[in-house]
Amino acid sequence: MRSSDLEWFGLRSAPFSKEIADDDLWLPTSKAELVDELEEAIAARASVLLTGEPGVGKTCVLRALRKRLSPDDYRLTYCHNATLGRRDFYRQLCVALGLTPSATAAAVFYAVSTHVEELGKERIHPVFLLDEAHLLHQDVLDHLHILLNYQWDSRALLSLVLIGLPELETQLERRRNRSLYTRIHHRCVIDDATASDTTEYISYRLGLAGATKSLFAGDAVELLHEHVAGSLRDLDRLAQAAMRDAARRKKKTVDRDAVARVLGGRMPIA
Ligand SMILES: Nc1ncnc2c1ncn2[C@@H]1O[C@H](COP(=O)(O)OP(=O)(O)OP(=O)(O)O)[C@@H](O)[C@H]1O
Ligand SMILES: [Mg+2]
């Protein structure tokens, strides 16, 4: 957002930017409970599946989780390039773990699993967070449960957290993936934002940016909610565009017409 637009609304920062600090994340009861559940699952050394539609806030929940897990007890490794074949997937994991990736698939797998065992001896629990996991290649999915198998499948030395779109769960339910799926005991879903979530989110983010009063009319929020279908990312984009529209028209409140113009494409969304 332009600084003149921010000034117009008396804000100190762009309210709907993706650059929100971990400490400032919005955690209504539903999300706070989810973060609690994830934290408990990982403390119990279990693996987790987290699914939800695009933009509902999955990656932000992971960021909130990261804040909860002490680096003295947990080693978090976040992988977001899921579009790799098995060998490159493990190579990526090696690099993320600070290991030198070896040449063959067997050697990289060995390096990763040895590292996990060493962390176990140091009483540090490794957590591999695989974001965009609905894009994982089948040959990676075929192999992941082997990574969870330590000492004849008797030790839980690693937690896998698979995050992705709802189709990830459908993929895992397939017979071929049952060895992996049955090892994932916690299956969580982030639901689409409800109408009251949308209202709360907008005022929360505006408050963080320094707003002292409500800048969106109630019916403008309703219209936004109808159009974003639960996606906070779409909400960010449209709310920001509607604020720009209102600022151009020298209005201090974003009304339903501003939102309607943005939705009607009569206002560039940027
Ligand atoms: N808890 C939150 N606090 C503040 N902002 C949030 C929160 N959750 C989501 N957002 C906003 O919504 C945007 C999208 O969220 P996020 O990237 O977490 O979605 P996602 O579910 O991971 O989407 P995708 O499936 O496309 O990866 C963020 O960039 C942020 O601006
Ligand atoms: Mg994401």
Mean pLDDT, residues 130-145? 94
| Residue 145 alpha carbon to ligand 1 centre in Å | 28
**Any idea which ligand is nearest the CA of 34?**
1
pLDDT score of 146 more than 80:
yes
Amino acid making up residue 162: L
Asked if pLDDT for residue 140 goes beyond 60, the answer is yes
Q: Which residues surround ligand 2, an ion (CB under 5 A)?
A: 58-59
pLDDT over 70 percentage in the chain: 98
CA of 266 to the centre of ligand 2 (A): 29
- Please tell me the distance from the alpha carbon of residue 93 to that of residue 131, in angstroms, as a whole number: 13
C-beta neighbour count of 229 within 10 angstroms:
13
Question: Does the pLDDT value for residue 6 go beyond 70?
Answer: yes
Contact 56, 192 (CB under 8 A): yes
Q: For the chain, what is the largest distance between any 2 Cα atoms, rounded to a whole number of angstroms?
A: 69
270 pLDDT tier (thresholds 50, 70, 90): very low
The pLDDT of residue 166 is above 70 = yes
The residue to mutate among 59, 67, 132, having the most atoms of ligand 1 within 8 angstroms of its beta carbon, is 59
The overall pTM is greater than 0.85:
yes
- Closest ligand to Cα 134: 1
Is the pLDDT at 260 greater than 80, yes or no? yes
Mean pLDDT score across all residues of the chain: 93
pLDDT at 74 over 70: yes
CB 48 within 8 Å of CB 184:
yes
Pair 51, 43: CB distance under 8 Å = no
Instruction: Calculate mean pLDDT across residues 35-57.
Output: 97
Give me the pLDDT at residue 253, please: 97
Instruction: Specify the residue with its C-alpha closest to ligand 1, atom 29.
Output: 18
Taking the centre of ligand 2 as the mean of its atom positions, its distance from the CA of residue 152, in whole angstroms, is 34
pLDDT at 265: 74
- Topology given in CATH for the domain delimited by 3-24+193-263: Helicase, Ruva Protein; domain 3 (1.10.8)
Q: How confident is the model at residue 226 (pLDDT cuts 50, 70, 90)?
A: very high
Nearest ligand, measured from the Cα of 22: 1
Considering only the top CATH level, what class is 29-190? Answer: alpha beta
Q: For the segment 121-131, what is each residue's pLDDT rounded down to a tens digit?
A: 999 999 999 99
Indicate if the pLDDT at residue 266 is higher than 70.
Answer: no
Cα(57) to centroid(ligand 1), Å: 3
pLDDT band at 267 (very low <50, low <70, confident <90, very high): low
Residue with CA closest to ligand 1 atom 26? 54
Ligand number, closest to the Cα atom of 51: 1
Planar angle of CA 214, 219, 225, nearest 5 degrees: 95
Strands (E), 30-102: 48-51, 74-79
- Residue closest by Cα to atom 18 of ligand 1: 57
Instruction: Show me where the domains of the chain are located.
Output: 3-24+193-263, 29-190
Mean pLDDT of 37-66: 96
What strand order describes the sheet that includes 159-164? 74-79, 125-130, 159-164, 48-51, 186-189
Confidence of residue 149 (pLDDT cuts 50, 70, 90): confident
Would the pLDDT of 269 be above 70?
no
Cα 1 to Cα 14, 163, 216: the distances in Å are 6, 30, 16
Section 123-151 average pLDDT: 92
Question: Which residues line ligand 1 at a C-beta cut-off of 6 Å?
Answer: 18, 20, 25-27, 31, 52, 54-60, 232-233, 236
- Which residue minimizes the CA distance to atom 25 of ligand 1? 54
